[in-house]
Chains A and B, each alone.
Chain A
């Protein structure tokens, strides 16, 4: 069922199993038939841990979405609320329970807080006078969710906003806790590196938590050699750029949530003879995307310009395989062919799906608008004319293009220029407020607080130095057969990944100067292992690094790290963890504030 999790260097299925075990134990605590009332936000992440079948085995008969008013009727003994610890959700629960009590029902109520219970929420329930109605109040610690064979995410949407705008370090606490859970299952990680304020906090918390458990020695042979903690604000540029890998583009255009993507159905209509276009599906087509699908694993991290060739090569292999049947003469040969059929058919339908997706994307990437936008992005990244008002952006504002797209470009220019001249910045801001409405002044404020948009404070611009030292721009990026990570953005090598690459070889000491130009401290910590657990490394064995992105990571960055893992001489394999999978649009959106205008 979750085979894709055990393919990688580190078997993440162990983590998933641990999470499932805990869930089962909680469910068994509530004896008898049950209905689960879901905080809707949680259903996606939970789907990665347990399917409905698991819940069913534990007598879960009904599932509802949490909403105000009365609970839908169901003939069950237990009602279990699965919620995030949010006050507004407590009020809804209280209303539900209150309405239920009026009917004198004899049901038992339970609450499961994800990922932690909160005093404040329980207090709120008490104030509402329903706290006593609950038989079990428990927490389900779900910090790091296994997403794919080499990828963990907390799916904690507001982490960047909380850390950099609101100075709220809750997400960092969850991160540290999550890493402790991980170490309990996979062994203590001997080396910790980090860059950035938040990274420092997380490392400090981890070390403190470890001291608190000083008595208990972890006797597991460490799976990870190194942990690298990176703040998102060390590299603000990368997520703003349009990702150009296959998976990255799917996310940019359609959005991938919890491993699923919804696509326009027209391209996927089953063409059957006789019933032409009579009933085209109107529901969006939902596809699961992970490395369990052989073809997808092969093409997801390629530059989109190399996907076409890969697909047609695959098509040839598949049709050749089908042709084999003509050569099958003996009964044994035919039998063997038939036994391969299901696999071949799966491969063929997966090929058909991805050919359709690639066509959809191609329509967009070959459009003029996409090209113009990319040209401006690349100018900014190479440092061309970043200090004056850009006419393309002005034109796009005049045409009322989506605001997020505009903000992405303006922020990008600001980041690439190490801040904009006051006059330029004010001009953009005025243009935006006059066109999209005054209410976005709050959003602009947020972007300034987060450092994505800022006035120039000194005339010194470090970007050219950083760009040159870290080789962030490669003129001759090879999209078909890449030899460098810059292929994921067709020329731009993500700063975050360069830092990771340089840490492995030759080490950060060589780029001390540049590290100082980037925000936040950089540091190194060691965790003592009990004697006897030091790994005896065999010749040629790869080391494993867990890279944790605090504040989000993009699919293109993940692709670049996978590329590094596969490089023969790198000697390093990477597992990736993050607070949230993001792209430029979803990231900016999480920083926006739009009060509902009600006046009319």
Chain B
């Protein structure tokens, strides 16, 4: 329920507080997976906010995968790697993404690095 309301909130801080309530509810219901996923989403939103402010990357509200994709397009490799580690993205999917994005940009140098 809180999840649905959170999407109606245009402002970040109120959305985060709704999500926090959702985490509490999920904990009460002993739904570990959902509370972890919700915390991850809050973490992602804060990360997106920071980068949007610093670099104007336009990340807000994107999925994790789409965020990483955008960062790769912008050439922000360090931040992408950070997300990959922080959110424990499976290697297989990450490599697919990196391969595809870098090949599209024809960044062969960066590609060779991994």
Please report A residues at the B interface, Cβ cutoff 8 Å.
394-395, 397-400, 426, 429-431, 433-439, 441-442, 445, 593, 595-600
Contacts and interface: CB of A to CB of B under 8 A. Distances in A.
A398 B93 contact: yes
Given A438-B41, A599-B12, A599-B15, 14 more contacts: A397-B93, A429-B33, A431-B93, A433-B41, A434-B89, A436-B63, A436-B65, A439-B3, A442-B3, A593-B4, A598-B10, A599-B11, A599-B60, A600-B10
Given A429-B37, A596-B7, A599-B11, A398 B61 contact: no
Contacts of A426: 33
B110 interface: no
Contact of A435 (B15, B40, B41, B64): B64
Given A429-B37, A434-B63, A599 B10 contact: yes
16 contacts: A394-B90, A398-B97, A429-B33, A431-B90, A433-B64, A435-B93, A436-B65, A437-B62, A437-B63, A437-B66, A441-B34, A445-B34, A596-B7, A599-B7, A599-B61, A600-B10
Secondary structure type dominating chain B contacts: helix
A425 to B, nearest CB: 8
Given A435-B63, A438-B63, A599-B61, A394 B92 contact: yes
B63 to A, nearest CB: 4
Contact of A599 (B9, B34, B96): B9
A171 B58 CA distance: 44
Nearest to A433: B37
Interface of B: 3-4, 7-12, 15, 33-34, 37-38, 40-41, 44, 60-66, 87, 89-90, 92-93, 96-97
Contacts, number: 74
Contacts of B41: 433, 438
Contacts of B66: 437
Contacts of B10: 598-600
Contacts of A599: 7, 9-12, 15, 60-61
A435 B67 CA distance: 9
B60 to A, nearest CB: 6
A398 B92 contact: yes
A434 B90 CA distance: 10
B93 A438 contact: no
Nearest to B68: A434
A438 B90 CA distance: 17
Contacts of A595: 3-4, 7-8
A394 B92 CA distance: 9
B39 to A, nearest CB: 10
B99 to A, nearest CB: 10
B3 to A, nearest CB: 6
B7 A434 contact: no
A434 B11 contact: no
A441 B93 contact: no
Nearest to B11: A599
B44 to A, nearest CB: 7
Contacts of B37: 429-430, 433, 438, 441
Q: Which 7 A-B pairs have the closest CB atoms?
A: A595-B7, A437-B63, A438-B41, A434-B64, A435-B65, A398-B96, A398-B93
A342 B11 CA distance: 66
Nearest to B31: A445
A434 B87 contact: yes
A562 B94 CA distance: 48
Nearest to B61: A597
Contacts of A398: 92-93, 96-97
A390 to B, nearest CB: 13
Contacts of B60: 599-600
Contacts of B87: 434
Contacts of A435: 63-65, 93
A456 to B, nearest CB: 15
A399 B61 contact: no
Nearest to B94: A398
